[in-house]
Amino acid sequence: MGVKIKKRFKNSFLGLAAWLLLAGFASCNSGEKQPASKVVPDELVTAEGKKEMILLTDRPLNLETPLHYFLYDFTPNDEFFVRWHLSNMPAQVGLDTFRLRISGHVSKPLSLSMSDLKTKFKTVSINALAACAGNARSFCDPRVPGGQWKNGGMGNAKWTGVILKDVLSMAGVKPGAKSVSFNGMDEPPLPSVPDFVKSLTVDHATDGEVMIAYEMNGEPLPLLNGFPLKLVVPGWYATYWVGMLNEIKVYPDTFKGFWMDKAYLVPKGVANGNEKPDSLAKDMTPISRLDIRSIFVVPEQGSVIAAGQICKMQGLAFDGGYGITKVELSTDSGATWVQASLDNDLGKYSWRRWRYTWQPASQGTFTFYVKATNAKGETQPWHHWNRSGYMRNEIESLQIKVEKSK
Ligand SMILES: Nc1nc2c(c(=O)[nH]1)N[C@H]1C(S)=C(S)[C@@H](COP(=O)(O)O)O[C@H]1N2
Ligand SMILES: [Mo]
């Protein structure tokens, strides 16, 4: 990895200050904030083009977005999570020489410059959530191996670029094509490590939604988010969103490769979260569309507030593109639910913010649960576990301590 990182400090004082400023109110996040007992202090680092982020691993670089940045509808580029599998990536990419190649089962292989992409195709933009399949893995019980993400392994952005279908039709996909593979400029550190290559079916690749983005929130992509090009697969887990994309190949059969056939698999069917450590599923399938999920953003886990105080709660809900229709909260383990209000819809592939104003009358420890429902009637399970902690979407809980009012 040619990218340098700077380690700063263990506790997020600046992060806390930013949180208070952004939240714009003191009632839920007063100075009385207490960390939950099991929380490990975050190690914050700054890397190229990034402000302070939570370090997961430094080789390859994996950085998590601190939760308070989820107060923004669009995750700032300099706080957008970073997830690489291979430590050997270019420290910079020269746009003059950069080319995107399209080859394989096509009638006219292409080698496109950035200016070709910007001038020869229609420009499109879409708001879409990129969520790592392993997001929230650290909450799995029992623990599972892999990056121990809390909720910051995702981010919402406005992506601008070209439609993959348009690029593929310029290359002339030959009849009988079945799959398309996507490879980036990052490379394995050792020959024994398989290169990171992902694939989609031709039907999916040409659905008119999958795109090749050169901008994120109106700016060129940060190097660490895959500059200069990233595949955007709306509604699908970000493992397919290949960054530093420079090679697209079309195949007359199904693409085979480690990162499709051996990694990023989940138990098949609706049971992807029903696996038990002592009886693992035999039938596995590649990860695909995002499961419906909701999280808390404010207040933070373990916050302490005073009885009678107004607590403006908020969080986010998202799914694979059917659209969030309802978010509900419960304080009695699901016996009764109240409906949260929903902010404006930013697009079906974006996340949607929910809000709820709570005024606790009495002291005590309250456990809130949050649950989303989508237009298809899908909702979240009480329990979700599989061996890799992928697609975790179980109903989240949040503990708030209410003390006697002063
Ligand atoms: N070239 C390349 N693209 C990649 C990856 C990678 O390791 N190499 N990781 C994938 C995974 S698993 C995720 S979650 C997203 C993360 O995108 P980000 O780092 O821009 O947030 O990139 C995807 N695209
Ligand atoms: Mo991921």
Separation of 232 CA from ligand 1 center, angstroms?
Answer: 11
pLDDT at 154: 98
Is residue 378 packed enough to be buried (19+ CB in 10 Å), middle (13-18) or exposed (0-12)? middle
Question: Three-state SS for 353?
Answer: strand
Q: What pairing do the DSSP bridges indicate for beta strands 219-220 and 211-216?
A: antiparallel
Strand order of the sheet with strand 293-298? 293-298, 311-318, 352-358, 341-342
pLDDT at 5: 76
pLDDT exceeds 80 at position 257: yes
pLDDT tier at 13, thresholds 50, 70, 90: very low
Co-location of 70 and 212 in the same domain: no
Measure Cα distances from 239 to 183, 215, 317, 326, 354 in Å.
Answer: 12, 19, 20, 27, 26
pLDDT at 271: 74
Final residue in a domain of this structure, among 267, 286, 305: 286
Co-location of 33 and 167 in the same domain: no
pLDDT tier at 355, thresholds 50, 70, 90: very high
Which atom of ligand 1 is found nearest the CA of 84? 7
CB atoms within 10 A of CB 377: 8
Which atom of ligand 1 is found nearest the CA of 83? 19
Q: What does the alpha-carbon distance between residue 223 and residue 92 come to, in Å, rounded to a whole number?
A: 7
The pLDDT tens digits of the residues spanning 63-79 come to: 999 999 999 999 999 99
Asked if residue 89 belongs to a domain, the reply is: no
CATH number, position 199: 3.90.420.10
pLDDT tier at 37, thresholds 50, 70, 90: very low
Q: What does the alpha-carbon distance between residue 168 and residue 154 come to, in Å, rounded to a whole number?
A: 28
Co-location of 277 and 129 in the same domain: yes
pLDDT at 35: 42
The dihedral built from the CA positions of residue 29, 35, 36 and 39, taken in this order, carries a sign that is positive
pLDDT at 6: 76
Ligand 1: residues with CB < 6 A are 80-86, 130, 132, 184, 186, 196, 225-226, 238-239, 241-244
Separation of 149 CA from ligand 2 center, angstroms?
Answer: 10
Once rounded to an integer, what is the mean pLDDT over residues 302-328?
Answer: 97
DSSP 222-277: PGGGTTT-EEE-TTB-GGGS-BSEEEEEEESS----HHHHTSSEEESGGGGGB-BT
pLDDT exceeds 50 at position 32: no
pLDDT exceeds 70 at position 12: no
Separation of 360 CA from ligand 2 center, angstroms?
Answer: 38
Report the chain's mean pLDDT, rounded to a whole number.
92
Final residue in a domain of this structure, among 47, 79, 111: 79
Co-location of 184 and 302 in the same domain: no
Once rounded to an integer, what is the mean pLDDT over residues 115-141?
Answer: 98
Q: Specify whether the CB–CB gap between 402 and 358 falls below 8 A.
A: no
pLDDT at 39: 58
pLDDT tier at 11, thresholds 50, 70, 90: very low
DSSP 35-74: --TTPPPPPEEEETT--SEEEEEETTEEEE--GGGGGSSS
Asked if residue 320 belongs to a domain, the reply is: yes
pLDDT at 226: 98
Measure Cα distances from 285 to 203, 225, 255, 262, 390 in Å.
Answer: 18, 27, 14, 10, 12
Co-location of 114 and 203 in the same domain: yes
Letter for the amino acid at 160?
Answer: T
Once rounded to an integer, what is the mean pLDDT over residues 251-263?
Answer: 96
Q: Specify whether the CB–CB gap between 166 and 205 falls below 8 A.
A: no
**Percent of the chain beyond pLDDT 70?**
90
Co-location of 248 and 297 in the same domain: no
Which atom of ligand 1 is found nearest the CA of 183? 1
Co-location of 150 and 55 in the same domain: no
Identify which of 188, 193, 264, 185 has the alpha carbon closest to the alpha carbon of residue 230.
Answer: 185
Asked if residue 139 belongs to a domain, the reply is: yes
Q: What pairing do the DSSP bridges indicate for beta strands 211-216 and 364-374?
A: unpaired
Co-location of 236 and 273 in the same domain: yes
Asked if residue 143 belongs to a domain, the reply is: yes
pLDDT at 48: 92
Separation of 266 CA from ligand 2 center, angstroms?
Answer: 13
Asked if residue 68 belongs to a domain, the reply is: yes
Which atom of ligand 1 is found nearest the CA of 60? 7
Q: What does the alpha-carbon distance between residue 266 and residue 385 come to, in Å, rounded to a whole number?
A: 10
Identify which of 318, 306, 376 has the alpha carbon closest to the alpha carbon of residue 342.
Answer: 318
Co-location of 316 and 375 in the same domain: yes
Report which protein residue has its CA nearest ligand 1's atom 8: 84
Asked if residue 92 belongs to a domain, the reply is: no
The pLDDT tens digits of the residues spanning 377-405 come to: 999 999 999 999 999 999 999 999 999 98
Separation of 307 CA from ligand 2 center, angstroms?
Answer: 41
pLDDT at 29: 52
Asked if residue 105 belongs to a domain, the reply is: yes
Count of domains observed in the chain: 3
Identify which of 109, 253, 85 has the alpha carbon closest to the alpha carbon of residue 184.
Answer: 85
Q: Which two tokens stand for residue 401?
A: 């301590």
pLDDT at 148: 96
Co-location of 181 and 270 in the same domain: yes
Strand order of the sheet with strand 324-330? 303-306, 396-403, 364-374, 324-330, 338-339
Please indicate whether residue 32 or residue 321 has the higher confidence score (pLDDT): 321
Measure Cα distances from 105 to 158, 166, 181 in Å.
Answer: 32, 16, 11
Q: Which two tokens stand for residue 253?
A: 């059969």
Co-location of 340 and 358 in the same domain: yes
Letter for the amino acid at 194?
Answer: P
Co-location of 398 and 254 in the same domain: no
Q: Which of 229, 242, 245 for a ligand 1 pocket mutation test, highest count of atoms within 8 Å of Cβ? A: 242
Note down the domain range covering 323.
Answer: 293-403
Q: What are phi and psi of 64, to 5 degrees?
A: -105, 145
User: Can you give 112-136 as a three-state secondary structure string?
Assistant: ECHHHHHHHCCCEEEEEEEECCCCC
pLDDT at 170: 98
Asked if residue 254 belongs to a domain, the reply is: yes
- The DSSP element (H or E) to which 304 belongs, if any, is strand 303-306
Which atom of ligand 1 is found nearest the CA of 82? 19
Final residue in a domain of this structure, among 286, 307, 336: 286
- When mean pLDDT is compared across 20-24, 144-148, 226-230, 350-354, the lowest value belongs to 20-24
